[in-house]
Amino acid sequence: MADLEAVMDEAGLTNPRVREFVKEYAELTGAERIEVVNASDDARLLEEAVEAGELEKVGEGRYYSRSYFKDTARSEERTIVATSDEKDRGVYNNWRPASEMKPKLHDLMRGASAGKTMYVVPYLMAPAGNALEPWAAGVEITDTRTVVLHMIRMSRVGVQFVNDLEDPDHFVRAVHVSGDLENLGQGTDGDKRYFVTVADERTILHFGSSYGGNALLGKIAHGLRQGAYDGWASKKFLAEQYMLIGIHDKETGKDYHICGGFPSASGKTNLAMMAAPEALGDRYHVSFYGDDIAWLWVEEETGQLYGMNPEYGVFGVAKDTNETTNPNALASVGERTDCIFTNVAYNPTTGEVWWEGRTKEKPADRHGWLDWMGSPIADRKEDDSAPWAHPNSRFTTTLANVPNIAVDYDAPLGVPIDAIIFGGRTRDREPLIRAITDLAEGVYDGLTLGAEATSAAEGKEGVLRYDPMSNRPFMAYGEGDYAQHYLDIVGAAKDQPIFAHVNWFQRDAEDGHFLWPGYRDNLRPLLWLLQLKNGEVEGRRTAVGIIPTEEELNLEGMDIPAEDLERILTIDKARWQQEMGFREEHLQQFDRMPEAIWEAHRRVAADLANEQ
């Protein structure tokens, strides 16, 4: 082992508690050497990764990474929240005692980095100077260089973020050891992988993966699970899997900000990166703040609800990203962006990448193309329909590369939140948008957010896979306590945000076509929502919220059949009454659910029964 003290001295790492943490895990993992990383090391690390064959170049200033074929996604069943108090057990957080999990992870990590470099990555999950900065500092230790490169893109990296902490001991201790990926028994009874957040000790211990949220510990493990627990324990903030956008009205000069949660495959990233439709572009501009995480808090002096994206980059799903669905995303991974693609199809001869949905047709000339596992596509049989790219293939890029990034995305203040929206993919029941002006009913709606079951989540016909606040895989403590904390934080705001539920995915029952065109046109119902909050429109009241009238929606430049418009602005009473029964079963799973939420449920059910 190299002289740890000398290495940390040379890197300028002065926090004594961080230095103790580094020494403890250097000894435990048996790493041969350590390296303390700053953002300025990025170019050198990229060059080293290419030389070592860990990355390949994709044209000018773009890079390609291929993960082990059994290591391609988050693993919810192996993800655990551990604390010393069983009251923290929830339905979704896979709670286990810290006294059990810490020794188990230490045993797995012991000597597992022998012969490797242990990279020390000090990071910040907040704009510097933000009100929540005290909960945003962390240090990730990892034995994988590509993980470091992703962390530099996804967080603010440098020793300055941990050297001058008010409390030198108040940082998240995050340890990532990849393990022997080919011999971990992934998906078997002998699976050795564990992804553990010891929330009440602010310690993250992940073993057995080098992919995505399993390995980028500042992102999900800190940004969501640990952040949620910290927000609750401090009674200061919410950490949510929310996108965050700004809408600027050029005519009035006003700015609005909307955040919200969407389950997987429900259009969150496309909404976050959308541009205004051409017909409305002269008046409105949409700004991107983030597509995955938002921390929310109330500023004590003003009583204003604020939000910010703790991330510094985008870890986006490549599948179906194209010029129509998300042109801003494509621009953010153009040449000289230093972006990293993972598990897409790759042509080392031409330096091109491709994924399903990138173009309508696959590249006609298969020569030189390799699929996400590295196999030549030209060798495939003609009838081989296996995907070229993995369905969970990704691109990683910094926020600054996104063309419509907000000018104040890194400002310490954060932005005032005007609306909180939820949206799931459902072919019926949910109209285009329904607004909710009562806090408890808004939180109730978020707790019963769901999407239709997919191939990855089997479900009964007509039953949604519920994903409370789109935070189901990231719950850090009991759902009832979470609901009360949400009511307390947002309820403290003097100017209450308006809530809404949106659905871009209603289909015609006969031919299956989408009733709403979606993408850029999704701005239109959001503009109506802001007008409703401002008292400029009234909408039509229903038992489940306020729905726009056809006259109130700005449809300039659109050509939508009258029958389709009528359908997406209508409530199916019978379908909704069926849904209320499913919702009650869902909520009954959770301990300590606030009475305010049950009152909201009964109120909506009674209003439905009385609705003509």
Contact at 8 Å (CB) between 479 and 88?
no
pLDDT in tens, 332-349: 999 999 999 999 999 999
Our measurement of the distance from residue 271's CA atom to the centroid of its chain's CA atoms, rounded to an integer in Å, reads: 13
Orientation of helix 479-491 relative to helix 227-234, angle to 10°: 60
Give the residue range(s) of CATH 2.170.8.10 domains in the chain.
314-400
**Whether residue 266 lies in the annotated active site:** yes
Burial class (CB within 10 angstroms; exposed 0-12, middle 13-18, buried 19+) of 337: buried
Numbered ranges of CATH 3.40.449.10 in the chain: 4-54+76-234
Q: Is 393 known to sit in a ligand binding site?
A: yes
User: With pLDDT > 70 as the criterion, what percentage of the chain qualifies?
Assistant: 98
Do strands 433-436 and 540-542 pair parallel, antiparallel, or not at all (unpaired)? unpaired
What's the token pair of residue 176?
Answer: 């990532």
Element (H, E) at 214: helix 212-215
pLDDT value for 457: 38
Residues carrying CATH 3.90.228.20, the chain:
240-312+410-610
pLDDT at residue 612 greater than cutoff 80: no
Say if CB 489 and CB 238 are below 8 A apart. Answer: yes
The CATH-assigned architecture of domain 240-312+410-610 is Alpha-Beta Complex (3.90)
Is the separation of the CB atoms in 111 and 30 below 8 Å? yes
The pLDDT of residue 432 is 98
Q: Contact at 8 Å (CB) between 34 and 311?
A: no
Indicate whether 586 pLDDT > 50. yes
Q: Does the annotation list 358 as a binding residue?
A: no
Q: Domain 314-400 adopts which CATH fold? A: Phosphoenolpyruvate Carboxykinase; domain 2 (2.170.8)
CA-to-CA dists, residue 179 to 54, 172, 173, 219, angstroms? 16, 22, 19, 20
pLDDT digits (tens, 9 = 90+) for 64-82: 999 999 999 988 899 999 9
Predicted model pTM: 0.96
For residue 106, the Cα-to-chain-centroid distance in whole angstroms is: 28
382 band by pLDDT with thresholds 50, 70 and 90: confident
Using DSSP's 3-state secondary structure scheme, residue 176 falls into: strand
Q: How many Cα neighbours within 13 Å face the side chain of 430?
A: 26
What are 191's two structure tokens?
A: 């699976």
Q: Are strands 352-354 and 433-436 parallel, antiparallel or unpaired?
A: unpaired
pLDDT tens digits, one per residue of 477-515: 999 999 999 999 999 999 999 999 999 999 998 999 999
pLDDT at 456: 36
Exposure on the CB side of residue 293, measured as CA atoms within 13 A: 28
Question: 267: annotated binding-site residue?
Answer: yes
Tokens encoding 418: 């005007």
203-250 per-position pLDDT tens digit: 999 999 999 989 999 999 999 999 999 999 999 999 999 999 999 999
Task: Check pLDDT > 50 for residue 538.
Answer: yes
**pLDDT computed for residue 455 by the predictor:** 38
Over range 165-187, report the average pLDDT: 97
Q: pLDDT value at position 416?
A: 98
Q: What is the pLDDT of residues 248-281, one digit of tens each?
A: 999 999 999 999 999 988 889 999 999 999 999 9
Distance CA 100, CA 106 (A): 11
Written as six digits, the tokens of 66 are 């291929």
* Residue 425, marked binder: yes
pLDDT at 454: 46
**580 to each of 48, 241, 575, how far by Cα in Å?**
56, 25, 9
Share above pLDDT 90 across residues of the chain, in percent, rounded to a whole number: 94
* Sequence-ordered list of residues with C-beta below 8 angstroms from that of 526, at least 6 positions apart, any chain: 247, 258, 419, 421, 433, 502
Is position 602 annotated in a ligand binding site? no
CATH number belonging to the domain at 4-54+76-234, selected among 1.10.10.10, 3.30.70.270, 3.40.449.10, 3.20.20.210? 3.40.449.10
522 is in an annotated binding site: yes
**Residue 493 marked in a binding site:** no
Determine which one of 266, 287, 332, 470 is catalytic. Answer: 266
Q: Is 418 labelled a binding residue?
A: no
pLDDT at 463: 72
Q: Report whether 394 belongs to an annotated binding site.
A: yes
pLDDT exceeds cutoff 90 at 359? yes
User: Would you say residue 461 has pLDDT above 80?
Assistant: no
Q: How many Å apart are CA 418 and CA 404, to the nearest integer?
A: 20
